[in-house]
A and B are shown apart, each in its own frame.
Chain A
Amino acid sequence: MVDYGCGAAYSSKYYGLNINEMMMSEIKQRIEQFVKKEGRRPRILVSNMDNKSHDHGTRLMAAFFAESGFDVDISPSHQTPRGTARMAIENDVHVICFLSTENRHKHQVSDLAKALEAEEAENVKIVIGGAISRSDYKFLNDAGVDLILGSLPVNRTAINQLLNLFE
């Protein structure tokens, strides 16, 4: 179980993430290698730029990342792209990850990428999850998204692609 800091404890085990013990140990191993090389854990900001409180999926992602050995920052809910960029810079995270639940992801990504660039932090990677139509993929990639996770649960390929971002 992971204590969230926002009042509730969650464990990814309870959410049927498509991950077995073997995959988990694979992930952990890669993370330990990263720590040896970089001197710190991969740090990821789980953000939410929609107009509602952190949903189930956001909490699930955060719990999963922490359990696999990431350092996870959680942004306040309904954060603006600028606020997200600022938090990413201040906490010096490697990756920003957020779920799209209101189909505003095109705007969110463009604004986020611009905000990062304005602070010379374009090296912070952007990962987006959620129900995203295939036809948006090109736009999102061009706008600065490094990885589109698609809907949860995530699979092995997606996790490995995510870990590749840190290398």
Chain B
Amino acid sequence: MIMEIQEFIDGVLAQNRRIVAKTITLIESSLPAHQEMAKTIVDTLLPYAGNAVRIGITGVPGVGKSTYIESFGLQLVEQGHQVAVLAVDPSSSKSGGSIMGDKTRMERLSLEQRAFIRPSPSGGTLGGVARRTRETIVVCEAAGFDVIIVETVGVGQSETTVASMVDFFLVLMLAGAGDELQGIKKGVLELADAIAINKADGNNIENAARAKIEYEKALNLLTPSSKIWSPPVLTCSALTMDGIDDIWQTILDYKEKLETSGELMAKRQRQALDWLWALVEEGLRERFYRNPDVKKSLSEIVKAVEKGETAPTAAAQRLLDLHDV
């Protein structure tokens, strides 16, 4: 079944769930022909996008991201919002396949009429994820979703990437036994617009309160990235719903403050430039690998480096020179 570009555009604007899903597939496709189509579609939809609150959510595995998003999303839906959740799941580097089980923990949200949850396999390349997720955000906004949640696994570089495409970056944490700050990368704290300590329920309430103080101290040592916003530390429970609304109010407060001061506009402009450069870099990489001269000599040069006959620096220079001419 071949669909025309106009069908995609009309379908997205008409908020047709199936066509929104198909458009995302097109964006994620590795075929150049699909990417061409996707570019045109996203470009046409761009004027209809930009009106949503974009929220990035991260946290280490086990922190309860999916369950948090289930509770948070349900609450937003009840308030009349249209919520799109985009989740990136790591693909196995061995088989290339992936298991996307997020929705097993979003049982109720996944059935809500006003929600749309789309897990995507990372496909092995982080750069690719960034481009695709940005374009997918545009599609979801054009389809009328006014809250976009981008969920990322709390490992490695993905946080920086996601933080560079959202308005508000929420870091979920767990209360431990006093060693909260161990093992937390400073880099992640620097990205946070708020920290929420999840699972603050039952016997864990006191621990969470203590952890809150620890994190507040830690945040105080950092220079906030905004002049008018210092990231708060909150506690919540996706189970009892305690504190979930406070987080939404915090996000709204943030949005209002930064909108008034013009910082939000500046942030989005900066992100548009990030997007631009990410695309340029991705394009350069693709062109490099598609270059016939590079293709011809690549395996030979790689072997030479493996065997120790050529230094990596010299080999890299040779490859880059090949691409130049």
Chain A contact residues, CB within 8 Å of chain B: 2-6, 28, 31-32, 35, 38-41, 54, 62-63, 65-77, 83, 86-87, 89-92, 119-121, 123
Contact = CB atoms under 8 A, between A and B. Distances in A.
B18 interface: yes
| B interface, over-half SS | mixed
B92 interface: yes
A70 B31 contact: no
A63 B101 CA distance: 11
B92 A66 contact: yes
Contacts of A73: 100-101, 103, 119
A41 B103 contact: no
A31 B98 CA distance: 13
Contact of A119 (B17, B92, B116): B17
B95 interface: yes
A92 B25 contact: yes
B116 A5 contact: no
Given A87-B110, A89-B21, 7 more contacts: A5-B66, A67-B95, A73-B119, A76-B106, A90-B17, A90-B110, A92-B24
Nearest to B108: A76
Contacts of B1: 123
Given A39-B34, A73-B100, A91 B119 contact: yes
B96 A72 contact: no
Given A66-B97, A77-B104, A92-B24, A39 B110 contact: no
Contacts of A75: 103-104
B89 interface: yes
Contacts, number: 109
Interface string B106-125: 11001100001111010000
A76 B108 CA distance: 9
Contacts of A65: 97
Contacts of A68: 95, 97
Contact of B99 (A28, A38, A54, A66): A66
Contacts of B267: none
Given A92-B22, A92-B24, A92-B25, A2 B99 contact: yes
B159 interface: no
B28 interface: yes
Q: What are the 6 A-B residue pairs with the smallest beta carbon separation, nearest first? A: A5-B101, A39-B29, A39-B31, A76-B107, A66-B97, A92-B21
A76 B30 CA distance: 29
B135 interface: no
Contacts of B167: none
A90 B21 contact: yes
B110 A70 contact: no
Interface string B67-107: 00000000000000000000001011001111111111111
B116 A90 contact: yes
29 contacts: A5-B100, A5-B101, A6-B104, A28-B95, A32-B96, A35-B96, A38-B31, A39-B31, A40-B28, A54-B104, A63-B99, A66-B95, A66-B97, A66-B99, A67-B92, A69-B96, A70-B97, A71-B91, A72-B98, A72-B99, A77-B104, A90-B110, A90-B116, A91-B21, A91-B100, A92-B21, A92-B22, A119-B17, A123-B1
